[in-house]
Amino acid sequence: MDLSSGYPFWLIRDGLPFDYPMLDADIEAEVIVLGGGISGALAAWHLSEAGIDTIVVDKRSIGLGSTCASTALLQYEIDTPLSELQHKTGLPAAVRSYKLCEESIGGIAAIADQIGFSGFEFRKSLYFAASEKDNAFLQREYKIRKEHGFDLTLLNRSDIKNAYRFDAGSAILSQAGAQIDAYRFTHALLQYSIPKGLRVFDRTEIKKIVHGKDNVRLKTAAGIQLKARYLVYATGYEVQNYIDKKIVNLDSTYAIISEQANGNAEFWKEDVIIWNTADPYLYMRNTSDRRILVGGRDEKFSSPHRRDKMIKRKKNLLTRDFQKLFPSIPFKPEFSWTGTFGSTADGLPFIGPYKKLASSFFALGFGGNGITFSQIAAVIIRDAILGKKNPDMELFSFERI
């Protein structure tokens, strides 16, 4: 599947930082990770750190699927608000899902520190009412999160105007949040693990997978054989090629990034991550090189051609959205792009085994929390392969649908 188009900023800035070989001979390992994006890289890192012989294989160059197009906001807030998720999963499961996302931000920070990765930054998150009718919803959302120990503040119109220089009736300011260069982080994870024994192959397309009770066998388009005790599917939105029931709805999202600004002043207070209650929601963040990223204006995915034709129009609309919110901040878009992403009925990922495909695990972090979900998946799957019971797997199992 063609997952992105346009000029993703991270790919332009970072280029192809490392080369990986194409698989050209038969190979075996304890675990094969199918997918070399951020989900696969996190899974491979955790497995390698646990001493598990692991291979990563991807049909593209590493990171050139959805990862290079990710806007990489790290938030504990799931696309389904906690006040609504409780009615889908039950309150304990909903709160635990939110807590896991919050913990995963700290987990990613710890990994970045361990591997010496500089492209991670903690940021607070500001979630504001897109219209006056959303004020009551934000009050309910604030109340349930506060009752369950999340560190956040409810702001009124005056608070927002004084601190952030735009107009909104109310907002939730969360202390837990971050931003990252997901594309460069993917490479950093793999490069850290390769000297420890991880093997990574890209431009290697898998054409056939045979699941057995005690192993999984794969064959490439060139006829090369791979064998492992376990297969981890980290294929993201292309999972529909492997799962025989509908678990994800595909959408197209759009993003633009401004020219680099002069000086060192904050764009807005503490350069918090900003997003709103609209559906689809508008979101924005800054970058380490003094740019502003704006995203949103999602559309139902129908075809790459139709998605790509809309880039110019969406660029103009997102520019207008930003200028309406911040008329005093100069904004001239330099790069624009689009990507395909998936959403589930409850906003949660799918993590763990799928009964019809023996000896395998899935790490499918759909939605706006793809990276934090991927960190959660990597920990759960590592534990399962090590024979450790992780009760959080039940929250994200295929059996819930």
The CATH number given to whatever domain includes residue 42 is 3.50.50.60
Q: Clarify whether residues 273 and 395 are in a common domain.
A: no
Q: Clarify whether residues 354 and 242 are in a common domain.
A: yes
CB 34 within 8 A of CB 208: no
In a domain, 113, yes or no: no
Structural domain count of the chain = 3
Q: Clarify whether residues 308 and 370 are in a common domain.
A: no
Predicted pLDDT of residue 299: 84
pLDDT tens for the chain, 401 residues long, are 444 456 788 899 999 999 999 999 999 999 999 999 999 999 999 999 999 999 999 999 999 988 998 898 999 999 999 999 999 999 999 999 999 999 999 999 999 999 999 999 999 999 999 999 999 999 999 999 999 999 999 999 999 999 999 999 999 999 999 999 999 999 999 999 999 999 999 999 999 999 999 999 999 999 999 999 999 999 877 777 788 778 888 888 899 999 999 888 899 999 999 999 998 899 999 998 999 999 999 888 767 778 788 899 999 999 999 999 999 999 999 999 988 777 888 999 999 999 999 999 999 988 778 899 999 999 999 999 999 999 999 999 998 87
Q: Clarify whether residues 256 and 389 are in a common domain.
A: no
In a domain, 293, yes or no: yes
In a domain, 96, yes or no: no
In a domain, 89, yes or no: no
Q: How many CB atoms lie within 10 A of CB 259?
A: 14
Predicted pLDDT of residue 6: 64
Q: Clarify whether residues 261 and 334 are in a common domain.
A: yes
Q: Clarify whether residues 316 and 386 are in a common domain.
A: no
Predicted pLDDT of residue 1: 44
Q: Clarify whether residues 163 and 307 are in a common domain.
A: no
Q: Clarify whether residues 283 and 328 are in a common domain.
A: yes
In a domain, 4, yes or no: no
Q: Clarify whether residues 339 and 277 are in a common domain.
A: yes
154, 174, 194: which is the final residue of a domain?
Answer: 174
343, 361, 385: which is the final residue of a domain?
Answer: 343
In a domain, 320, yes or no: yes
Structural domain of 170: 125-174
115, 150, 174: which is the final residue of a domain?
Answer: 174
Q: Clarify whether residues 378 and 231 are in a common domain.
A: yes
Q: Clarify whether residues 22 and 62 are in a common domain.
A: yes
In a domain, 366, yes or no: yes
In a domain, 235, yes or no: yes
Predicted pLDDT of residue 134: 97
Q: Clarify whether residues 160 and 224 are in a common domain.
A: no
